[in-house]
Amino acid sequence: MEFLEKYGTEAQKQQWLVPLLEGRIRSAFLMTEPDIASSDARNIRCDIRRDGDDYVLNGSKWWSSGAGDPTCELYIVMGQTTNTSSENPYGRHSVVLVLTNTPGITVHRMLSVYGYDDAPYGHGHITLKNVRVPASSIVLGEGRGFEIIQGRLGPGRIHHAMRTIGAAESALEWMIARVNDEKKAFRPSHSAHGTFQEWIAKSRIEIDAARMTVLNAAVKIDQEGAKAALREIAMAQVLVPHMALQVIDRAVQAFGAAGVCQDTPLPGLWASARIIRIVDGPDEVHLQQLGRRESQRMGEAVQEKLRWQSAETDRLLSLSGFGAAVFSGGYIPKANL
């Protein structure tokens, strides 16, 4: 919805945004493909070819969340517009709006998550064969797909992080419930009792610290927009699922065998937190981008620090009677210079 509000034409908004906002229909986002490494979206190769007044789509998609919902009427498809001859690898892709009942679409199956059946709201495995849509279905224009997915992903990630904080909070409540279950009370002398108090305390600290990271990103999005908040969003995206998995795992441990079966929501909470480390791009990609941005932020101050360090090394060597010149990998005593 956010993406249509931001990038859709008036006609697209009238056709899709209004019923989406009213909850009458749902949409699914079709980017990831089974035959390629999709975390680098430049690899996406679903073919979107202009043919007269239409576009014709051919490709295979999976992990299309929400595609199994009976009210899902709109696919938001990312692919390569083959007629776009751009040297820029970020300028070859486009996004097209496709009615789910367009001829040529086959929904093969709904994918499970750790064996959990997410159907009917599951993640679709879908192929598009000669799927024909009017040219007016393109969003923003040919070659502007990356602009759209980058604008869309930021706010989406913060929603995932918020929900995952909720999952961790719920796991902590279950852990506290188990520790206070009088039927299965731990004897006060039982060493595990102290361990559990420590787990509860650590979990509270970690949840609240992660919550602050999410709040920080949300404030930055509100004040300066999603693009300016990419650093803060990446921090929340990486930190929150790690924190939640740790907290949920402690709760599972506190329950013993009961923690791994269907008698509590803990296994489901674990699965929902685990996927956040992959959905919307794996941790590794966010960490690389965050590391790069953090380095760039220091700018000229990097050279300043290195110059200072070099001067300080020389000063300390000089105090010890050595000169600054390096010869064969070693420092030469001042007397020999």
Ligand X SMILES: Cc1cc2nc3c(=O)[nH]c(=O)nc-3n(C[C@H](O)[C@H](O)[C@H](O)COP(=O)(O)OP(=O)(O)OC[C@H]3O[C@@H](n4cnc5c(N)ncnc54)[C@H](O)[C@@H]3O)c2cc1C
Q: What contacts 27, CB < 8 A, 6 or more positions away?
A: 1, 16, 20, 66, 72, 73, 74, 75, 76
Tell me: does residue 65 bind ligand X (CB under 6 A): yes
What does the angle CA 19 – CA 219 – CA 156 come to, to the nearest 5 degrees?
40
CB 3 within 8 A of CB 151: yes
CB 252 within 8 A of CB 270: yes
Amino acid of residue 292: R
Q: Write the secondary structure of 50-97 as one string of H (helix), E (strand) and C (coil).
A: EECCEEEEEEEEEEEECCCCCCEEEEEEEEEECCCCCCCCCCCEEEEE
Which region, judged by CB under 6 A, interacts with ligand X, from 27-35, 135-143, 220-228, 250-258? 27-35
Select from 8, 20, 26, 32 the one that contacts ligand X (CB under 6 A). 32
Q: Which residues pair with 139 in a beta bridge?
A: 95
209 is written with which tokens?
């610290």
164 vs 203, which CB is nearer to ligand X? Answer: 164
Among residue numbers 101 through 160, which ones bind ligand X (CB under 6 A)?
113, 123
Binding mask 171-210 for ligand X (x = CB under 6 A): ----------------------------------------
Cβ 288 to ligand X, closest distance in Å?
A: 6
Which region, judged by CB under 6 A, interacts with ligand X, from 8-16, 62-70, 172-180, 199-207? 62-70
30 vs 200, which CB is nearer to ligand X? Answer: 30
Query: How far apart are the C-alpha atoms of 59 and 75, rounded to whole Å?
Result: 13
The footprint of ligand X on this chain (CB under 6 A) covers a number of residues equal to: 21
30 vs 175, which CB is nearer to ligand X? Answer: 30
Query: How far apart are the C-alpha atoms of 45 and 145, rounded to whole Å?
Result: 12
Binding mask 272-291 for ligand X (x = CB under 6 A): ---x--xxxxx-xx--x---
Tell me: does residue 271 bind ligand X (CB under 6 A): no
Tell me: does residue 63 bind ligand X (CB under 6 A): yes
Q: At what angle do helices 266-274 and 230-255 cross, to 10 degrees?
A: 150
215 vs 279, which CB is nearer to ligand X? Answer: 279
121 vs 331, which CB is nearer to ligand X? Answer: 121
175 vs 226, which CB is nearer to ligand X? Answer: 226
Tell me: does residue 35 bind ligand X (CB under 6 A): no
Q: Which residues bind ligand X (CB under 6 A)?
A: 29-32, 37-39, 63-65, 113, 123, 275, 278-282, 284-285, 288
